[in-house]
A and B are shown apart, each in its own frame.
Chain A
């Protein structure tokens, strides 16, 4: 391996490393804190630790009414359902908006964008009532079904923008080869928007994994709690909190998302640029 030592390259790397350090300081602090006895965390700031202890991890894992594994599994179910939903339903809607001509297209698109402009806090009560009529409270359905029905307009719009970047000549070529709309969608558009699908997967994973409000409201039974809800159960603003356990379990809960990101980002680079279509 030849090491590139041109001043420009070195400068770029120095800048990148400096940025990385600044960005990572809070996270490093969190990891260090998770290895400290709970009551030392705020009394002894800084990153130096005399002895690293993993007690917080043991304690945190079993501190609540269920082992932490349960919350990780619950979160995984919600996340996987959401990813599946977003990938399928959002890409379908996006294809229609980006490539098809139909009556009322602009109106529907505007409505779609409008639907993400209301703050959740004023729709949560009617929504709760709606789902409670359906008997869905304390199930994962209120968290997953909306994703299956493409209510996350963010991803629809994201995919629309990506599809619009795909040359139309490809669609036309496929039509000549005898592909219908569904064929073009499945064989041309989907393979070419892998980066967008990867982005959707990664974001859905992370955002669902971290989403607190919906999971707090709809899941009442501690058996059904997810990671973010469980994490907050370590904390009481007006009394004793288990910060050590909270930080330890926060670190634990970062692992799956980070892995998801590492895996997902491989697909980010597989665009047209690398599949070699010319």
Chain B
């Protein structure tokens, strides 16, 4: 099995390679070039060397956006994955009406980044929103969750958790992939449900957990649409939801500073790459593959 199959492999890879060279790489390299220029989208770019990168060092709004983004990544990713995994496992136990619950839990994710989200979120977390009405019932005075700088980011975390449907579906598919023979063998040995979960389900699901972790981290670092839609593109109040990509977009398209935006994008790429790389290194110790 370990013989090399270069030719076969490249044949299988050929659509992807074509896409890489014809579509993906060109714009990527162009943006790398633009990162070293002053480019306002209308006039030709001018080479400025490292200026964009040195400017990033003293840009306080950029530093703030990094803080916001890191907080978001570290809070929302584990939370969303934990809930998705929990519900996937519960739903996979053959609960009656599983198809119904699965669909219901997935419904919010169908909305994606629709314009309606901005309105819906205000309906829940605004000063007159559902949450405050519920709090008023129990005698607690609410606040403007979306417009208070100290809670606005929290509502976006909730929004992200609310759309846990995608990782949940991936977990469910992963659970279905686990061969029944393992469970049957375990049943013969008389293992308890808990032991079956930790002994079989969890280890065999690790490739999928790993996948969700890697992709959700990449995704969270690039988080843009939800903050854009909910804050009306401002990253407000007071920059409290100014994600890195939102600021990058604001520089590129709002302030016509595409050179700087490109530099920011490549900085982000390096950050994400480091996280992903570490993830892959650490995965050797906890992700279990067949063979």
- A residues near B, CB below 8 A? 4, 9, 12-13, 16, 19-20, 23-27, 29-30, 45, 88-90, 92-93, 95-96, 100-103, 105, 108, 111-119, 121-127, 130, 145-146, 148-151, 154, 156-158, 161-162, 164-168, 171-172, 175, 181-182, 185, 193, 195-196, 198-199, 202-203, 206-207, 209-212, 228, 231-232, 235, 237, 243, 246-247, 250, 254, 257-258, 261-262, 265, 268-274, 276-278
CB closest residue in chain A, given B22: A149
- Known contacts A103-B4, A117-B268, A162-B173, then 10 further A-B pairs from the complex at CB < 8 Å, ordered by chain A residue: A13-B97, A20-B104, A23-B162, A95-B12, A96-B8, A117-B272, A146-B23, A162-B207, A172-B1, A193-B177
CB closest residue in chain A, given B233: A237
Contact of B99 among A102, A115, A265 (CB under 8 A): A265
Q: Could you tell me the dominant secondary structure of chain B's interface residues?
A: helix
Contact call B289/A269, Cβ cutoff below 8 A: no
Contact call A273/B172, Cβ cutoff below 8 A: no
Assembly CA distance A123 to B215 (angstroms):
20
Which residues of chain B are near A231, meaning CB under 8 Å?
114-115
Contact call A111/B5, Cβ cutoff below 8 A: no
Across chains A and B, which 3 residue pairs bring their CB atoms closest together, nearest first? A149-B19, A210-B112, A271-B176
In the complex, B101 has a CB within 8 A of chain A? yes
Contact call A12/B90, Cβ cutoff below 8 A: yes
Assembly CA distance A271 to B35 (angstroms):
46
CB closest residue in chain A, given B26: A130
Which residues of chain B are near A148, meaning CB under 8 Å?
15, 19
Contact call B123/A45, Cβ cutoff below 8 A: yes
Most buried by B among A89, A121, A212, A228: A121
What is the distance, in angstroms, from A195's C-beta to the closest C-beta of chain B?
A: 4
Assembly CA distance A118 to B271 (angstroms):
11
Which residues of chain B are near A123, meaning CB under 8 Å?
27-28, 30-31
What is the distance, in angstroms, from A210's C-beta to the closest C-beta of chain B?
A: 3
Q: How many residues of B contact A (CB 8 A)?
A: 101
Contact call A112/B10, Cβ cutoff below 8 A: no
Given A117-B269, A119-B248; A261-B110 close (CB under 8 Å): yes
Contact with A along B80-112 (1 / 0, CB 8 A): 000000010010000111010111111111111
In the complex, B220 has a CB within 8 A of chain A? no
Which residues of chain A are near B27, meaning CB under 8 Å?
123-124, 126-127, 130
Contact call A198/B104, Cβ cutoff below 8 A: no
Contact of B95 among A13, A154, A175 (CB under 8 A): A13
CB closest residue in chain A, given B245: A119
CB closest residue in chain A, given B261: A122
Contact call B103/A210, Cβ cutoff below 8 A: no
